[in-house]
Amino acid sequence: MTLQRVAAESIDNAGLAHNGLIRTIRNAINPEDVLSYMIEPLLDADVRANANKIKALIEKFKELGYLHA
């Protein structure tokens, strides 16, 4: 549970960053403000490096059909 909380907090921190998606949504005036947000690509190496922290999340995504391995 602790590792899941740490991973979730890391995701939250990224979203709340100065130019993060959550801040962009909060400050948006028009839909285009959000739709034009550029998402940084997720590198395979990043996923592999943090795989132990997000293993339960990966399994849930597979179960829901969002991730195909």
Domain ranges of the chain: 2-64
Q: How confident is the model at residue 11 (pLDDT cuts 50, 70, 90)?
A: low
Q: Using an 8 Å Cβ cutoff, are 9 and 3 in contact?
A: no
CB < 8 Å & 24+ apart, contacts of 52-57: 52/3, 53/3, 53/4, 53/6, 53/7, 54/7, 56/4, 57/4, 57/7
Note the pLDDT of residue 17: 65
Note the pLDDT of residue 1: 47
Q: What angle do CA 65, 67, 69 make, to 5 degrees?
A: 115
Mean pLDDT confidence for 7-24: 65
Per residue in 18-64, pLDDT (tens digit) is 677 888 888 899 999 999 988 777 677 777 777 777 788 878 888 88
